[in-house]
């Protein structure tokens, strides 16, 4: 076996940030490949970076990951509020921040890890890059329903979230037709419009609003009224949570000081609905899909991608190729340096072919 002469025969793994379909499939693939092909033990840290800092983990064996391929969520747990470099604690009613990165590194070294597989999105990869700079051997696996992580053509969890949103849009169309209304579906995506664009096209939305194309409410209203003049007595509008009007700002639902990314977007659907009703007089309703998009059984395409990602991550670890993130380029798996992707976003190009296709079938983007 490749690692037979290496005394450090334990591979660590953790899942961090928001959950999404497919996390368990990656855990399974990493664990089984490490055990079966390379003779490595696998240690799973609980609740993301929280477990790494507090040294809380479980030993993963074959039976532990058997039967989890199709399960949503993560058997290891996750957290998006425990950045080792900005660890929030409450002291006398005030939130104070500590740098616990040395504790994270100490846990890594105490357990004599060969390397650590970190599964997460852009914030998680930013932290992973910092840990790599401290001398930890890190391999990243790109996860997010937002598909906004740089360096890879697709992140796992995205396909399933698109399917969930598209199915919701189909159901909203039924009630929109019945009541002759404008139905707004607000989807996640943060600062990128991939989820809104793909689910909107899949659901046949009449209007799609994404962060990359600021919208003009007057043009949105005109597109909706034009449908009415053609005898279409209902419309479907899909909006990304990070969409913003021309010259305006994104709608922030709240801030969470303890989180590394304290901004929580939300409410743009209601803002647009008020404008459509007050300015254009069209009966409008809003559905916020929210965390429904993060749950559920991963699609077959995501299970396949997760398995490929997990196997590749274990292969990189066994070969000693650290400081890398597994990525999909076309249909090929590659690895890219963490420094090139850590903390960087992949946004929708305004000349993207899918936008052009949507415009060709009459979709309005509010511009």
Tell me the two tokens of residue 205: 């939305």
Dist. CA 148–CA 308, nearest whole Å: 20
* C-alpha pair distances (Å), 337 with each of 231, 305, 325: 54, 20, 6
- Catalytic site residue 146? yes
- Catalytic residue, from 19, 83, 137, 146: name it: 146
* C-alpha pair distances (Å), 67 with each of 24, 48, 64: 10, 22, 8
Distance between alpha carbon 266 and the CA centroid of its chain, in Å?
A: 16
Dist. CA 170–CA 182, nearest whole Å: 14
Dist. CA 300–CA 323, nearest whole Å: 29
List all residues 6 or more positions away from 350 whose beta carbon is below 8 Å from its beta carbon.
Answer: 212, 213
Q: What is the distance in angstroms between the CA of the first residue and the CA of the last residue of the chain?
A: 58
Q: What angle do CA 74, 76, 78 make, to 5 degrees?
A: 75
Provide the 10 A C-beta neighbour count for residue 52. 31
For helices 300-319 and 158-179, the axis angle rounded to 10 degrees is 160
Tell me the two tokens of residue 340: 């090139």
Dist. CA 252–CA 334, nearest whole Å: 36
Dist. CA 112–CA 109, nearest whole Å: 5
Provide the annotated active-site residues: 146
């Amino acid at each position: 076996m490749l690692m037979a002469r290496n005394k450090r025969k334990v591979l660590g793994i953790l899942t961090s940030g928001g959950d999404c379909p497919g996390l368990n499939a990656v855990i399974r693939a990493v664990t089984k490949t490490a055990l079966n092909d390379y003779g490595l033990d696998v240690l799973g840290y609980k609740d993301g970076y929280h477990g790494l800092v507090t040294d809380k983990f479980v030993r993963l064996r074959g039976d532990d990951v058997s039967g989890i391929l199709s399960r949503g969520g993560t058997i290891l747990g996750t957290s998006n509020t425990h950045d080792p470099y900005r660890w929030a604690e409450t002291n006398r009613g005030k939130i104070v921040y500590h740098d616990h990165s040395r504790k994270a590194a100490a846990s890594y070294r105490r357990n004599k890890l060969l390397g650590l597989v970190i599964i997460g999105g852009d914030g998680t990869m930013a932290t992973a890059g910092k840990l790599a700079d401290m001398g930890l051997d890190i391999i990243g696996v790109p996860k997010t329903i937002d598909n906004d992580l740089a360096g890879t053509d697709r992140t796992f969890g995205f396909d399933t979230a698109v399917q969930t949103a598209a199915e919701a849009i189909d159901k909203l169309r039924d009630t929109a037709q019945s009541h002759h209304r404008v139905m707004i579906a607000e989807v996640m995506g943060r600062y990128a419009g991939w989820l809104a664009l793909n689910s909107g096209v899949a659901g046949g939305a009449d209007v799609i609003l994404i962060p990359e194309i600021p919208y003009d409410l007057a043009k949105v209203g005109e597109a909706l009224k034009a449908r009415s003049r053609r005898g279409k007595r209902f419309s479907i509008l899909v909006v990304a949570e990070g969409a913003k009007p021309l010259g305006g700002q994104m709608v922030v639902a709240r801030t969470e000081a303890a989180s590394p990314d304290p901004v929580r977007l939300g409410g743009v659907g209601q803002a647009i609905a008020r404008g459509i009703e007050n300015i254009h007089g069209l009966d409008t309703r809003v559905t916020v899909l929210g965390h429904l998009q993060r749950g559920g059984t991963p699609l077959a395409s995501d299970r396949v991608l997760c398995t490929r990602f997990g196997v590749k991550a274990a292969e990189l670890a066994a070969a000693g190729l650290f400081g890398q993130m597994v990525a999909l380029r076309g249909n090929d798996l590659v690895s890219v340096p963490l420094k090139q992707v850590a903390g960087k976003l992949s946004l929708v190009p305004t000349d993207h072919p899918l936008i052009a296709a949507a415009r060709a079938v009459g979709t309005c983007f509010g511009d």
